[in-house]
Amino acid sequence: MGCQKDIAEKILESKADYMLAVKDNQPKLAAAVKEIFETALAEPNFAASHHQTEDKGHGRIDVRRCWTMNVDAECGAPFDQWKGLGGIVRVETERTIAGKTSREHRHYITSRSNFSAAEALAASRSHWGIENQLHWVLDVAFREDDCRVRAGNAGENFAVIRHFAVNLIKGAPSPVRTHPKLGVENRRMFASANTQYLFRLFGIHS
């Protein structure tokens, strides 16, 4: 949570706005945001910004609903701990497959006040698209989901190393000139068999 606060401050210092996911490791913040929305949504005349989209395809229906509300430090703890806080966001995803419907709720805090629900929903979808893409790369190229390292901080340490490796591989040119878009998994295998390319990933030129 402290790390996210530092990130929020750095984003504001760069003259940009933040929109950060509220996760279970922030229980007080998560509970406060959830309570505000559930209380407000129970009111018949609730007038917050709202937006909804619907996607159909491959036997699946996805309905996404988003609400935004203004919140700032004057609302007290835990909101006063976040520099430049301007609002909170709630995203509900309703998915129907073969007649069975499931729902998921996600919450965010943002430095944007008067943040429209349409903009917030687009931002949240972009965020999850990046997260899902990264998870796919880590699972396919590094078999992250099969890793059973759990003792102490080992799991977190291995995750940091994997992210570091992905960034190195993506930041380096393909080892095969005729295949400039060679995937992460193939580049990783190439590096394990070619010391010269491995050195290039670390910026070492022999």
State the pTM of this model.
0.63
Give the C-alpha distances (Å, rounded to integers) separating 25 from 102, 160, 169, 181, 206: 24, 18, 30, 37, 45
Residue with tokens 């992250």: 144
> What are the tokens at 123?
């931002």
Are 162 and 154 in contact by the 8 Å Cβ rule? The answer is: no
Exposed e or buried b per residue across 110-140, where buried means at least 16 C-beta atoms within 10 angstroms of its C-beta: bbbeebebebbbebbeebeeeeeeeeebbee
Q: What is the tens place of the pLDDT at every residue in 144-203?
A: 666 777 677 777 777 777 777 777 777 777 777 767 777 777 888 888 888 888 887 877
Average predicted confidence (pLDDT) for the chain: 83
Instruction: Choose the weakest-confidence range: 59-68, 105-114, 196-205.
Output: 196-205
pLDDT (0 to 100) of residue 140: 64
